[in-house]
A = this chain, B = another copy of it.
Amino acid sequence: MNTFGTLFRITTFGESHGAGIGVIIDGCPAGVAVETGQIQAALDRRRPGQSDLTTPRNEADRMQLQSGVFEGISTGTPISLFIPNADQRSDDYSHVAHAYRPSHADYTYDAKYGRRDYRGGGRSSARETAARVAAGAVAAALLAHFGVRVAAYVSAVGEIEVPLGYEKLDLSLIDSNPVRCPHPATAALMEARIRAAQAAHDTVGGIVTGVAFGVPPGLGEPVFDKLPAVLGHALLSINAVKGFEFGSGFAGTQLPGSEHNDEFYTDEIGRVRTRSNHSGGSQGGISNGADVYFRVAFKPVATILQPQATINDQGESITLAGRGRHDPCVLPRAVPIVEAMTQLVLADLLLRARGNRV
């Protein structure tokens, strides 16, 4: 299933070393201004080679808009975005054609399909997420019509965590450093932490925090497509993600109900508000108008430049070491992916909510 969404739906395709990767966006309403510059800008935040913290692979990721937009405006027909693979060096990967790299998808793809395109991870490559980022930029353009805005940032790298909640941070600083952490002091520590991993030929994981501002009350479809359920689905479908929590999350399990409950009040302009927001903007699976915030756990990158024991597709023991160009930490580049998946979810739920009343 390479399709996500009910009304605002994306279908992605493509492998790391084929002709390219792409996405079809079906169900984008007519009338949305789709600017290729904005889509390209989103892609540029995800692409390799942005800083010396990321893989030096230089994928230009030049996006082609192929359909669904006429004179700069969406027409209601499918929007196709294609990103040709520029930097294909298949021979780099011949050594893994028959190897099962630890904690990669080589074995499971073989187990499922009986074969796989082993070049650069094929379909299981994180390169697939570029298609999501491109689509997310279109979703963001739709959301902008309704005053909804999404932001994400790196809140932890390994054991180094931002000491403040999102509401106490200046989110305009997210892109002020290569780590994409809006708390500059912590960002510096994170950067050092990533370099240390890199120096040790090792990798490190972390956490991305996401927030959606301006989400109107009423989004989320009980009982299975609750806002956090769909959001969790979206984020857990990103490569390397191991966990998702929203609002008070796992820590909230330790609060008593009397403290966890968010009391309602009416604000000065008559809006229903809550005094706290342990709910993370969702009650009963439906948005309540408060900020929707959540955290996403990313495991350390599986490709490490150290020898590891593993097996090949004949079941024989082999030793394997990563080579070439790899990220020591995926977190900085994960930020636009988290944003994109969140934008896609909200765009879809926004359209779905149009059917809620006669």
Contacts and interface: CB of A to CB of B under 8 A. Distances in A.
Which of A12, A67, A255 neighbours the largest number of chain B CB atoms within 10 Å of its CB? A67
Given A75-B117, A256-B300, A272-B315, 11 more contacts: A13-B24, A19-B64, A103-B262, A108-B282, A108-B288, A242-B252, A257-B302, A260-B302, A263-B308, A266-B317, A354-B354
Contact of A224 (B4, B14, B254, B283): B4
Contacts of A76: 109, 112-113, 115, 356-357
A151 interface: no
A186 interface: no
Interface string A1-39: 111101111011111001111101011011110000000
B2 A223 contact: yes
Given A77-B222, A358-B31, A243 B237 contact: no
A137 to B, nearest CB: 16
Contacts of A306: 258
A166 interface: no
A60 interface: no
Nearest to A311: B264
A206 B200 CA distance: 38
A353 B244 contact: no
Which of A70, A75, A78 neighbours the largest number of chain B CB atoms within 10 Å of its CB? A78
Copies of this chain, count: 4
Given A76-B356, A260-B299, A266-B317, A250 B250 contact: yes
A76 B223 CA distance: 11
Contacts of A75: 113, 115-117, 122-123
A221 B2 CA distance: 8
Contacts of A96: none
Interface in A312-358: 315-317, 351-358
A258 to B, nearest CB: 5
Interface in A83-113: 100, 102-105, 107-109, 111-113
